[in-house]
Amino acid sequence: QAVLLPRRDWSGHRVLVSAGPTQEPIDPVRYLSNRSSGKMGYALAEAAQARGASVVLVTGPTALPHPAGVEVVSVETAEEMSKALTMRLSWSTVVIMSAAVADFRPKHRAVNKLKKRDLTNPVLDLEPTGDILADLSARRTGQLLVGFAAETGDLLRHARQKLNAKGVDLIVANDVTTPGAGFGSDHNAATLIDRDGAISELGLRSKRRLADDILDAALRLARTAVR
Ligand code: CTP
Ligand code: CA
């Protein structure tokens, strides 16, 4: 009798996946964040685990259950996410950066709750967070790096710029205005651009199916020499 077994083509790989938003505190009850359900990153972690990889998922706050068989590290801020990923970089063979990291954080975090009555003309003083992906790229020792690009305008141009600026092997570009795709949805569409400039367009499909397609592309790149 024939038994259908899942592909175990990722066995031997150790995959570090980031997912979800980060939250940058303003005071004990308020924060600055990005739109992100975490579904794409969780789907990637699940798919890599199902295909035989050891997976660590570093996740910002989401409403999703922890994927079975995956080690989950929960973080809140961009700084915490950066530390959690950096300390596991040397363990990993592949890093997939699907988190929606906040680009700015409040310069000062109020210890006590800010009272609206005291704020006649409220202004948030912000500072940039570090670019985690660019930082991992600078520190890497042979790991394959996969980044994401969330865009609204000229998708290919912006995504190519990010691929080069951050020095990654593969970028997953999302047009966040695509109907039925993206934030909160179980479906997504993406354009993959690799380090050699090869482009592949993946139309609307389930995030799990898209995760497997991204893993196919990453595995092909991992098999050819990593720069
Ligand atoms: N990223 C990161 N650290 C940050 C910001 C982004 O590691 N502080 C990563 C994201 O996880 C993603 C990639 O960089 O893999 C691109 O993120 P994106 O928000 O699309 O681009 P940015 O470089 O932040 O530029 P902008 O938001 O201005 O388009
Ligand atoms: Ca950003």
202-220 pLDDT, tens digit per residue, is: 999 999 999 999 999 999 9
Say whether 174 is catalytic.
Answer: no
Out of 103, 104, 154, 171, give the residue to mutate to test ligand 1, the one with the largest number of ligand atoms within 8 Å of its CB: 103
- Rounded average pLDDT over 53-58: 98
Q: What is the number of the ligand 1 atom nearest to the C-alpha of 172?
A: 15
Where does ligand 1 bind, in terms of residues with CB under 6 Å?
78, 97, 99, 101, 103, 129, 131-133, 147-150, 162
Can you tell me which residue has the tokens 């898209």?
A: 210
- Predicted local distance difference test score (pLDDT) of residue 4: 76
Q: Which ligand is nearest to the CA of 152?
A: 1
- Predicted local distance difference test score (pLDDT) of residue 224: 86
Q: Is 115 annotated as a binding residue?
A: no
Query: Rounded to a whole number, what is the distance in angstroms from the first to the last CA of the chain?
Result: 45
Q: What is the number of the ligand 1 atom nearest to the C-alpha of 165?
A: 23
Q: What is the number of the ligand 1 atom nearest to the C-alpha of 133?
A: 7
Q: What is the number of the ligand 1 atom nearest to the C-alpha of 171?
A: 15
- Rounded average pLDDT over 100-129: 95
- Predicted local distance difference test score (pLDDT) of residue 138: 98
Give a three-class secondary structure readout of 163-222. Answer: HHHHCCCEEEEEECCCCCCCCCCCEEEEEEEECCCCEEEEEEEEHHHHHHHHHHHHHHHH
Q: Is 116 annotated as a binding residue?
A: no
One-letter amino acid at 221 equals L
146-194 pLDDT, tens digit per residue, is: 999 999 999 999 999 999 999 999 999 998 888 888 788 999 999 999 9
In this predicted structure, the answer to whether residue 5 has a pLDDT above a threshold of 80 is no
Tell me the C-alpha distance between 59 and 203, whole Å.
26
The Å distance, Cα 131 to ligand 1 centre, comes to 7
In this predicted structure, the answer to whether residue 1 has a pLDDT above a threshold of 80 is no
In this predicted structure, the answer to whether residue 226 has a pLDDT above a threshold of 60 is no
Q: Is 83 annotated as a binding residue?
A: no
In this predicted structure, the answer to whether residue 141 has a pLDDT above a threshold of 60 is yes
The Å distance, Cα 9 to ligand 1 centre, comes to 29
In eight-state DSSP terms, residue 129 is: P
Q: Which ligand is nearest to the CA of 145?
A: 1
- The pTM score is 0.96
- Predicted local distance difference test score (pLDDT) of residue 176: 87
The Å distance, Cα 146 to ligand 1 centre, comes to 12
Q: To the nearest whole number, what is the mean pLDDT of the chain?
A: 95
Q: Which ligand is nearest to the CA of 98?
A: 1
Confidence of residue 225 (pLDDT cuts 50, 70, 90): low
- Rounded average pLDDT over 103-118: 95
Tell me the C-alpha distance between 117 and 121, whole Å.
10
Confidence of residue 137 (pLDDT cuts 50, 70, 90): very high
